[in-house]
Amino acid sequence: MKALVLRQNAELEFATVADPVNEAASGHQPVKDILVQVKFSGICGSDIPRAYKSKAYHYPVVMGHEFSGIVREAPAGSEYAPGTRVVVFPLLPCYQCSACKTGDYAQCSAYDYYGSRRDGGFGEYVRVPAANLFRVPDGVDLLSAAMTEPCAVALHGVEKLDIRAGMSALIIGAGPIGNMVAQWLRVKGCDPVYIADVDSKKLEIAAGMGFIPIDSSKVDPADEVRKLEGTGAETDGADCVVEAVGFPATFLQATRAAGRFGQIVFMGNISGTFSVPEKDFSRILRNEIRIAGTWNSRIEPRGKDEWTRVLQFLDSRIQVKPLMSHQVPISQGKEIFDSVYGKKEWFNKVIFEL
């Protein structure tokens, strides 16, 4: 099959590789006997350091953990017959640790992962266990479905908040994850919803989707939220704040933007060291601000899980196509990755076609 292969750090090649094999059960992991033909696969922000900053677990590797496709081979009697449109939960749990026994697979102590620890969706085919598949509803485009994984990550973060209708919300970071967080907050009843960023194009997209943009290059998001809310007191601010950038400065902005009894979710993968000055830490304590971390998403209990809910909302109340800046053949993958890493043009979400 054809695939975009990371040979060594910063060495990407579009090449022919072996087709994935039908794997028998390995340890406690189920058999990987369903062959999925990948149709669309997205670049995640984590793929950039994996490709260019020696963050890969091994070489060579086929990256890609956000993808949709079509079942091509399945065992007799499988609920996923050939032709079924699917998305793949990329984490392979051990099913034996304490986290797995409660269905908290993202906390598994011995997990495997498509696109990082094993070959993933930047190739034409993957073999997966049935437990990692979700059927794409008829009303959802396979292109949109490729965003199921990051959209579920966004929902998982929002689920950390205790939201009541009419609460104000601020998202720091207007990239794809931040925008989807804003959409989920609106679905859950937050109003108004502010989005802060330094990127004018991303803010323009957010404004076009009905959110209130804040240009962080011109104003302090915390001060601006208090101004827009019509309050100026230090204790006032947003009810809910989600940090979706990953810089120490934006983590600190989040603590300053949350109001009395405010709630904060730290979502961005941090780059650098986050320190909190005494005055800001005192403010967290005195205003009883709650802070939660978040990672990945949850697929249990089935039917009530985050992936099922994402697929129920995609292409209706959750819109992901406006976030796609590039849709290109996987054969152009090396050039696109080089351009993203080198910031040679503007990018938001890049989707590969296979």
Alpha-carbon gap, residue 144 to 25, rounded angstroms: 32
Same domain, 262 and 178: yes
DSSP state of 95: S
Among 11, 39, 268, 294, CA closest to 160: 294
CATH assignment of the domain containing 165: 3.40.50.720
Claim to verify: residue 127 and residue 255 sit in the same structural domain: no
| Whether residues 78 and 137 fall in one domain | yes
**Which DSSP state fits 275?**
-
Looking up tokens 């009530």 gives 304
Domain boundary among 274, 293, 312: 293
Domain boundary among 241, 273, 293: 293
User: What local confidence, expressed as pLDDT, does residue 230 receive?
Assistant: 86
Same domain, residue pair 175 and 38: no
Task: Please tell me the predicted confidence (pLDDT) of residue 233.
Answer: 73
155 found inside a domain: no
CA gap 349, 335 in Å, rounded? 15
Q: Are 122 and 333 in contact (CB under 8 A)?
A: yes
Give the pLDDT score at 232.
Answer: 72
Q: DSSP code of 139?
A: T
- Residue 271: the pLDDT is 87
Same domain, 269 and 322: no
Task: Say if 156 falls within a structural domain.
Answer: no
Judge if 165 and 289 occupy the same domain.
yes
Give residue 182's pLDDT: 98
Same domain for 47 and 29:
yes
Query: Which two tokens mark 198?
Result: 């330094």
pLDDT at 26: 78
Report which secondary-structure segment, H or E, holds 256. helix 248-257
Q: Give me the pLDDT at residue 42, please.
A: 98
**Is 36:69 a contact under the CB 8 Å cutoff?**
yes
Amino acid identity at 29: Q
Which residues lie closer than 8 Å to 101 by C-beta, 6 or more apart?
none
Q: Do 166 and 47 fall within a single domain?
A: no
Please give the backbone phi and psi of residue 85, each rounded to the nearest 5 degrees, phi first. -85, 130
Rounded Cα distance between 221 and 170, Å, is 9
Asked whether the whole model's pTM tops 0.75, one would answer yes
* Domain containing residue 135: CATH number: 3.90.180.10
Residues of the chain with pLDDT below 70 are: none
Same domain, yes or no: 146 and 15: yes
Chain-centre distance for alpha carbon 84 = 24
Q: What is the pLDDT of residue 25?
A: 81
Dihedral class, residue 103 (left if φ above 0, else alpha if ψ from -120 to 50, else beta): left
Task: Let me know if residue 302 belongs to a domain.
Answer: yes
Residues 89 and 63 in one domain: yes
Task: Decide if 174 is inside a domain.
Answer: yes
Q: How far apart are CA 341 and CA 12, in angstroms?
A: 12
For residue 235 the two structure tokens come to: 């204790």
Q: 250 and 345, same structural domain? A: no
Within 13 Å, how many C-alpha atoms sit on residue 282's CB side?
Answer: 4
Which pLDDT does position 257 carry in this prediction? Answer: 97
Q: Do 28 and 139 lie in a common domain?
A: yes
Burial pattern 310-334, b for ≥16 Cβ within 10 A else e, equals bbebbbeebbbeebbbbeeebeebb
Domain that holds residue 116: 2-150+297-353
* Number of independent structural domains in the chain: 2
